[in-house]
């Protein structure tokens, strides 16, 4: 059984999808650590509900990014983490974490990369008039949403309702992320 860590900053719906897939045996894995950079985020409650250990930190409590990343690496190592899954973690991974887990981390993005990288991909795509949306799963590297692509799935959408579009993206994103993790750990 593989040992996973999930990094998240918000509500934790991708965390929930991953941990539930592990609990149901869809993934031969266990989420052993959740890392969150926002105390009070909903994902912290989700981790507690699933009895997953959590490292929750406020970046400003550390003198530098390297300092908090060293703490994260120590906790990943102590938990025996084999695969790092970013799931709405709103920080660019730095040299310390990449040095320890470079090539061993994956992320999901709500657009068919390389189009619309960054935190506001959905809004930017709607503003641009895109008619084909999608999800990308990629390796983590030093660039914002720049790692090598592992999987993508696209779908048409001609509306302009961001809530409706986000729901459609999640309907594609959750299973694609689980399928990708499954392939990587088998």
Cite the active site residues. 109
Distance (Å, rounded) from C-alpha 88 to C-alpha 100? Answer: 20
Q: Within 13 Å of residue 8, how many CA atoms lie on the same side as its CB?
A: 25
Distances from the Cα of 139 to the Cαs of 43, 104, 120, 178, in angstroms? 22, 8, 19, 15
Eight-state DSSP code of residue 148:
P
Distance (Å, rounded) from C-alpha 150 to C-alpha 169? Answer: 17
């Amino acid at each position: 059984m593989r040992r996973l860590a999930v990094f998240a900053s918000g509500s934790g719906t991708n965390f929930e999808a991953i941990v539930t897939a592990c609990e149901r045996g869809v993934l031969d894995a266990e989420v052993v650590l959740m890392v969150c950079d926002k105390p009070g985020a909903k994902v912290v409650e989700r981790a507690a509900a699933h009895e997953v250990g959590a490292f929750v930190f406020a970046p400003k409590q550390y003198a530098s990014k390297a300092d908090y990343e060293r703490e994260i690496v120590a906790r990943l190592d102590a938990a025996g983490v084999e695969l790092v899954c970013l799931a709405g973690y709103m920080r660019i991974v730095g040299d310390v974490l990449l040095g320890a887990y470079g090539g061993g981390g994956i992320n999901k993005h709500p657009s068919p990369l390389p189009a619309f990288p960054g935190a506001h991909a959905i809004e930017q795509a709607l503003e641009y008039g895109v008619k084909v949306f999608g999800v990308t799963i990629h390796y983590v590297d030093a660039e914002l949403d720049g790692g090598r692509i592992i999987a993508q799935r696209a779908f048409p959408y001609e509306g302009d309702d961001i809530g409706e579009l986000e729901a459609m993206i999640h309907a594609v994103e959750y299973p694609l992320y689980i399928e990708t993790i499954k392939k990587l750990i088998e």
